Amino acid sequence: MKHPLGNYGPVVTPAGMKEPILFGDFATAGVETLDGFRGAGGYQTALDALKNRKPEEITEIVKASGLRGRGGAGFPTGMKWSFVPKGSPKPKYLVVNADESEPGTFKDRELMARSPHRLLEGILLASYAIQSHHAFVYLRGEFAFLEPLLAQALDDARAAGLFGKNIGGSGFDLEITLHLGAGAYICGEETALLDSLEGKRGQPRTKPPFPAVEGLYKCPTVVNNVETIQSVPFIVKNGADWFRKWGPEKSPGTKVFSVSGLVNQPGNYEIEMGLPLSQLLDKYAGGMRSGAKLKAVIPGGSSVPWLTPDQIETKLDFDSVAAAGSLLGSGGAIFIDDGVCVVDALLNLTHFYRHESCGKCTPCREGTHWMEMLLHKIEDGEGGTQDVSTLKTVAEQILGRSLCALGDAAAMPILSVLQKFPDEIDHHLTAKRCLVNERRESVERVRRAEPATV
């Protein structure tokens, strides 16, 4: 569907549900405007909570719902909120992480573009729960085109008394500041984001102290992803048990998965947690395009270990994907076809991590550089067994040795591919060339083919 702010796919009702939750908003005509959103009952939950419920009740509902952070780490949201010290005389801050830049992930962009007021309502509820009177939205620089939309939504809501002083006569005050980044993947890491928001180079901090205790301007801060925040109004409105109707015990609710690669119907799909990967591919994304055969899946954004086609029945929830040796991450599922050389694909990603390493920690800064160089050598048919073994050693030495997850994110995919595709790596060493060197031709061929009707 062509939307003024991008091409977005169709909204599909998740299997076993009457209607989608987050994507349910998109069915309301004019939901992106204040009137449209309020007409469908928007802001009612927040206004009611501000007047009739205690902040701790909101935290308790979210805690009981089992909602886990949708940005990648999957940390329980209510628990994160409860770490904010109650008696602290310092101001508290809520920061929304809208720095969506994990390769393969494009869900927050659609959520914000199509239902900006849902984000604002979530901010209102989360801020009230942690008693923050100043919230920030950190929008990645490349999303500058979304800034006017969000600013308009905020202005309209403020004019209607939904932000500012004494919101809805509740006595609660809240201001929101939109902050535009300027191009840096690392700012999606919460402490790097906070440094960036303070006007510094975006580099991760040593933890502890965790942001809930010492975050923005050394004050207690909660950093939550866009999808997490947009889920909050639904949970507060309908209750924790309602949210737990979907998904397994430890990963309740629905989750938006971004699907990319040579599939028939790429796009964002809100599905019930715990659905098999095969259903996401076949039922929602329409399967692989004609002529493209599945070779590997990166289930949770480019930072996670790869899965192979024999793992296609892996259930999509935090624990099941972890048990399969990967991570659910941000839910950016990249389907890799057999026309792709795994070394070439790894080289692409390793180049990304090398480019995006902030330079603070030596293992990540130097290690990503070495890994890219070694992968280049192997891909170009100039590598030997020693290079593969060095690559493995470097990746293992990065693991767990940098302040943030970027180092691990660069190393994990490489280690999983070395383990799962040894023949293809060997072929580069013995035949001195790529096993799939017709990749571009193959991609062009499949691109020219008509996508199957879904």
Instruction: Determine the Cα angle at 23 with ends 172 and 26, to 5°.
Output: 85
The one among 26, 185, 243, 306 contacting another protein by CB under 8 A: 185
Beta partners for residue 93, in sequence order: 134, 221
The one among 27, 440, 449, 454 contacting another protein by CB under 8 A: 440
The answer to whether residue 391 forms part of the interface with another protein (CB under 8 A) is no
The answer to whether residue 181 forms part of the interface with another protein (CB under 8 A) is yes
Reported as half-sphere exposure (CB side, CA atoms, 13 A), residue 199 has a value of 1
Which amino acid is present at 346? L
Token pair 């080289």: residue? 347
The answer to whether residue 302 forms part of the interface with another protein (CB under 8 A) is yes
Of 27-35, 139-147, 228-236, 311-319, which segment contacts another protein by CB under 8 A?
139-147
Long-range Cβ pairs for the range 51-59 (8 Å, 24+):
51/168, 51/169, 51/170, 55/128, 55/129, 55/130, 55/131, 56/129, 58/125, 58/128, 58/129, 58/236, 59/129, 59/130
The one among 89, 199, 310, 450 contacting another protein by CB under 8 A: 199
Instruction: Map residues 104-123 to x or -, x wherever contact with another protein holds by CB under 8 A.
Output: xxx-xx--------------
**At a CB cut-off of 8 Å and minimum separation 6, what does 74 contact?**
68, 251, 318, 328
The one among 36, 76, 91, 451 contacting another protein by CB under 8 A: 91
Of residues 394-423, those binding another protein (CB under 8 A): none
The answer to whether residue 163 forms part of the interface with another protein (CB under 8 A) is no
Quick count: other Cβ atoms within 10 Å of Cβ 61? Answer: 24
User: What 3-state class would DSSP assign to 376?
Assistant: helix
Please check whether residue 77 is in contact with residue 224, taking contact to mean a CB–CB distance below 8 angstroms. yes
The one among 145, 171, 290, 313 contacting another protein by CB under 8 A: 145
Of 158-166, 180-188, 271-279, 317-325, which segment contacts another protein by CB under 8 A?
180-188
Please check whether residue 301 is in contact with residue 340, taking contact to mean a CB–CB distance below 8 angstroms. no
The answer to whether residue 345 forms part of the interface with another protein (CB under 8 A) is yes
Of 176-184, 238-246, 393-401, 425-433, which segment contacts another protein by CB under 8 A?
176-184
Of residues 216-275, those binding another protein (CB under 8 A): 217, 258-262, 266-268
Of residues 3-22, those binding another protein (CB under 8 A): 4-7, 9
The answer to whether residue 83 forms part of the interface with another protein (CB under 8 A) is no
Tell the smallest beta-carbon distance from residue 443 to another protein (Å).
Answer: 5
Quick count: other Cβ atoms within 10 Å of Cβ 130? Answer: 23
